Amino acid sequence: MSTNLLTLEGVHTHIGAYHILHGVDLAVPRGQLTMLLGRNGAGKTTTLRTIMGLWHASQGRVGFGQDKGVDITAMQTPQIAGLGIAYVPENMGIFSDLTVKENMLLAARGAKNAAQIDDTRLKWIFKLFPAVEKFWNHPAGKLSGGQKQMLAVSRAIVEPRELLLIDEPSKGLAPVMINNMIDAFAELKRSGVTILLVEQNINFAQRLGDSVAVMDNGRVVHSGSMAAFSEDAQLQQSLLGLAL
Ligand SMILES: Nc1ncnc2c1ncn2[C@@H]1O[C@H](COP(=O)(O)OP(=O)(O)O)[C@@H](O)[C@H]1O
Ligand SMILES: [Mg+2]
């Protein structure tokens, strides 16, 4: 049995007057890639934002680390980031007017020039995402959707991280780009990073996921191995309204 790096227990989140998460229970095994699936509006993005401290749980607990971990439920986002959690939001948070290099430097806390991004790490990122190197001195706004997504993930890993939270990275991408992304995420996983990835592309989810959690109406309604979920067409149909 693997240990869990992130544990949510009975997490409720309110956004203003709206009660969005209704008791989310979720465990993310260390070193694995966990797919967070579910229909539109199920609460996937709200769950990532709650983990990152961009929304705060009104009830329940978010723990980071082994054995339920450190209680991060009430921590502020910079403090949570400082523990080694990075978040790639759906809109990617890229500065279009800045170059790829400048975008990377902004992500490297305190770095003033490229020499201050760890060289070995930068080379590793270039290998994972060749477009980042190729367009290093170009405005990020000129990148394609897929290249922007790769830049967004590169920014998240410019410093070593234990846990990556990534929201729908394949959205709107061409199949060839999705294949590149699958390879890059597989390599990231091999490097030891734990990943919680929200996905709508079922093919992507199936090829990359070790574990799966499915949300509906602000709760996790199924969790288990991706292999078992992949084989259960009836379960997929009932939870997602489609089969893999
Ligand atoms: N800022 C917000 N204000 C009010 N309701 C929101 C806000 N963000 C999300 N919601 C609502 O919360 C529910 C879950 O949204 P979300 O977490 O974005 O779902 P998903 O990512 O699974 O599509 C939806 O019903 C959505 O309309
Ligand atoms: Mg979403």
Give the integer Cα–Cα distance in Å for 151 and 132.
6
What residues flank ion ligand 2 with Cβ within 5 A?
44-45
Residues 177 and 242 in one domain: yes
Give the C-alpha separation, 28 to 44, whole Å: 14
List the residue whose alpha carbon is closest to atom 9 of ligand 1. 46
Closest ligand relative to 38 C-alpha: 1
Same-domain check for residues 110 and 80 = no
Instruction: Please write the tens of the pLDDT for every residue from 120-170.
Output: 999 999 999 999 999 999 999 999 988 999 999 999 999 889 999 999 998
Q: Choose among 85, 77, 98, 113: nearest CA to 5.
A: 85
Co-location of 155 and 243 in the same domain:
no
Each of the 244 residues of the chain gets a pLDDT tens digit; together they read 579 999 999 999 999 999 999 999 999 999 999 999 999 999 999 999 999 999 999 999 999 998 889 999 999 999 999 999 999 998 888 899 999 999 999 888 655 555 678 889 999 999 999 999 999 999 999 999 889 999 999 999 998 899 999 999 988 888 888 888 899 999 999 999 999 999 988 888 889 999 999 999 999 999 999 999 999 988 888 888 865 4
- CB-CB neighbours of 168 under 10 Å: 20
Ligand 1: which residue has its CA nearest to atom 18?
Answer: 45
The helix/strand/coil state of 61 is strand
Stated pTM of the model: 0.93
Best residue for ligand 1 mutational test, from 11, 46, 91 (most atoms within 8 Å of Cβ): 46
Return d(Cα 101, Cα 84) in angstroms, integer: 22
Residue with the smallest CA separation from ligand 1 atom 6 is 15
Q: Are residues 123 and 184 in the same domain?
A: no
Tokens of 102: 């400048």
Q: Does residue 142 contact residue 97 with C-beta atoms inside 8 Å? A: no
15 Cβ inside 6 Å of ligand 1? yes
- State which residues form the domain around 58: 1-84+164-244
How many residues are listed for the chain in this entry?
Answer: 244
C-alpha triplet 79, 194, 106: angle, nearest 5°? 50
41 lines ligand 1 (CB under 6 A): yes
Residues 78 and 1 placed together within one structural domain of the fold: yes
Residues 80 and 176 placed together within one structural domain of the fold: yes
